[in-house]
Structure formats: C-alpha cells, structure tokens
C-alpha cells in the first residue's frame, strides 16, 4: 500500500508558437522535385545556420558529400518526421539565430513592453539568450517579462544570471526521461546535466510556482508520467519534492476538481485518478 494524497488539477504552463509561424521565413523545398535545384537553393544561404523545410524524401535523397558542401543546414522533411543535419551544422551546434540577429529581434520586441516566451533546449541556445538579454538590459536599463521554455541544459552560471534578470523558467519534468531515452546520443555528462532542478532550487534560488513553472509539452499530457519522472528520476539532481511539483504544476486550489494519487516508493510508480467537482 502506497502513500495517498489529493492534489489540485494540473495547470500546464507550456506555450508553443505555431511551428509554421516560427519557421515562415525558411527555405521551402516542398515544390522542388529536382535535387540539383534543391542544392542550389540551399547553397545560397548566408545564415549562421539554416533550417530547410519541405524536403520530400520520396523525390530524392542527399549524399554525405553533397551535404558536406552546403553551409550549415538542418533539412526537415515535409512531414517533420525525418531530418538531416550536415557536419558544418553539427560542428557549430544548432543555433537558429546568429547573436546579431537575435539581439536585433529581442531588442525590437522589448520596445513593445509585452511578455515574451522564448524556446531554448540546449546549453548553447540557453546561454545565448540569457547573454543577449543581459546585454539588452545593460543598454536599455530594463527588459520585459521573459520566460524561457525548456532550458533543459541550463548551467548554474546562466541560471544565476537569468535569476538576476527576473527570467522565468518554464520546464518539463517529463523530459527527465530524455536522460534514458537519448543516452545512446547524449554523453554521460549531458544525461546527468538534463533538467537540473535541484541546482536551480537549492543553489540558485528558483522557486516553484513563482519563477520556476512546469508543463508537459504534450509528451505526454497527464499527471502520472510527470509525477513519476519528478519523484523517481534517473538522477538525483532531477528530482522534485511533491510540494514543489504541486506549486509549479498545479492549479491554486481544488474547486474544479483534484487528483487522487498513490505513491509506491518501493516500486517507484504512481497511480492517479481524476475527480471532478
């Protein structure tokens, strides 16, 4: 028999820009059936790294030699179920924006004085965003309300800067499982480095429910998986206490319903039942 609790319903804080809106200015190969034309279009790119859309792999495939001769590219197929990353892109890390372009974009958005949500998964992207926001604050004296979605591999140094800037981190406890699912692709260092909740809370001072909030990103929705990943992760630094989970991931009260949970600490599993009022 496990320990039983009643917690409020979840409030999924994660937000997503339409992928089509965010990638609207990318090179589009959806109408291109000739590989030579596709290669010619991609070679014209002068961006630091270029995302290519619409590649139809039933028309043609790219050889390694052809990819190597291109500027840094990430080529997405038409259904977004397959993609290619060439060596020049891998060597740079996957940053969608150059520092100059991102600075200009964020500086422009800051003049609107509206809240901004920015997506960054890896350490390079997270470091880049926080550094540029810090530079904007030094120049302008302030920045608007900012939240970073994911920030799975945030360093302590960047977290301290983000905290000082008032940046909210919106993270996904579900993605603790990336340390298991992708351990064939991530180094041991990065597997352990993923979702460093204890560092953020205990060392930097982030507070669940205030400047550290949680969501699912839809992978998957629901409380059971999120609770299991939060309370019983692969690495101790990924763990959340139940009170922290409730503060960062749940509604403020139970007036619309609640979740019955039973926690089996020995077997490391959780049963859940939704109860509506």
pLDDT at 221: 74
Cα gap 65→267, rounded to integer Å: 50
Cα gap 15→206, rounded to integer Å: 20
Average pLDDT for 233-250: 97
DSSP per position, 175-186 = GGGHHHHTTTTS
Within 8 A by CB and 6+ apart from 29, the residues are 38, 41, 52, 53, 54, 55, 56, 75
pLDDT at 13: 86
Whether the per-residue pLDDT at 233 is higher than 90: the answer is yes
Q: Which residues pair with 61 in a beta bridge?
A: none
pLDDT at 22: 65
Q: Name the percent of the chain lying above pLDDT 90.
A: 73
93-97, 205-209, 233-237, range with the lowest pLDDT: 93-97
32-36, 44-48, 194-198, 223-227, range with the lowest pLDDT: 44-48
pLDDT at 19: 61
Average pLDDT for 150-166: 97
Read off the pLDDT of residues 134-152 as tens digits, 9 standing for 90 and up: 999 999 999 999 999 999 9
Contact (Cβ atoms closer than 8 angstroms) between residue 194 and residue 155 = no
Read off the pLDDT of residues 99-125 as tens digits, 9 standing for 90 and up: 998 999 999 998 888 999 999 999 999
pLDDT at 220: 76
DSSP-assigned letter for residue 237: G
In which band, very low, low, confident or very high, does the pLDDT at 90 lie, cut at 50, 70 and 90? confident
Average pLDDT for 209-237: 92
pLDDT at 17: 61
Q: Name the percent of the chain lying above pLDDT 70.
A: 96
pLDDT at 262: 96
277 vs 258, more confident = 258
Sorted by where each starts, the structural domains of the chain and their CATH numbers stand as 19-92 (3.10.310.70), 97-250 (3.20.20.140)
pLDDT at 21: 62
pLDDT at 205: 98
pLDDT at 42: 94
72 vs 159, more confident = 159
Token pair 């350490």 is at which residue? 123
DSSP-assigned letter for residue 254: S
Read off the pLDDT of residues 12-53 as tens digits, 9 standing for 90 and up: 888 766 565 667 778 999 999 999 999 999 998 887 778 899
């Amino acid at each position: 028999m496990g320990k039983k609790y009643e917690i409020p319903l979840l409030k999924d804080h994660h937000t997503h820009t339409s992928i089509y809106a965010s990638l609207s200015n990318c090179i589009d190969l959806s109408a291109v059936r000739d590989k030579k034309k596709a290669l010619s279009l991609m070679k014209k790119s002068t961006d630091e790294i270029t995302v290519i859309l619409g590649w139809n792999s039933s028309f043609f495939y790219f050889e390694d030699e052809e990819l190597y001769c291109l500027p840094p590219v990430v080529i997405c197929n038409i259904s977004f179920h397959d993609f290619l990353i060439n060596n020049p892109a891998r060597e740079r890390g996957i940053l969608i924006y150059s520092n100059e372009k991102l600075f200009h974009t964020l500086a422009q958005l800051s003049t609107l004085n509206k809240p901004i949500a920015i997506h960054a998964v890896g350490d390079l992207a997270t470091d880049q965003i926080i550094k540029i926001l810090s530079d904007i604050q030094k120049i302008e004296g302030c920045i608007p309300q900012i939240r970073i979605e994911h920030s799975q591999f945030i360093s302590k140094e960047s977290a301290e800067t983000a905290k000082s800037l008032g940046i909210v981190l919106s993270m996904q406890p579900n993605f603790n499982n990336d340390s298991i699912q992708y351990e064939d692709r991530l180094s041991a260092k990065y597997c352990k480095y993923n979702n460093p909740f204890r560092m953020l809370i205990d060392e930097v001072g982030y507070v669940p429910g205030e400047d550290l909030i949680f969501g699912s990103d839809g992978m998957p929705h629901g409380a059971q998986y999120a609770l299991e990943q939060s309370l019983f992760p692969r690495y101790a630094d990924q763990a959340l206490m139940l009170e922290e989970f409730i503060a960062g991931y749940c509604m403020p009260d139970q007036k619309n319903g609640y979740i019955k949970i039973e926690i089996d600490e020995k077997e490391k599993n959780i049963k859940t039942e939704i109860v509506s009022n």
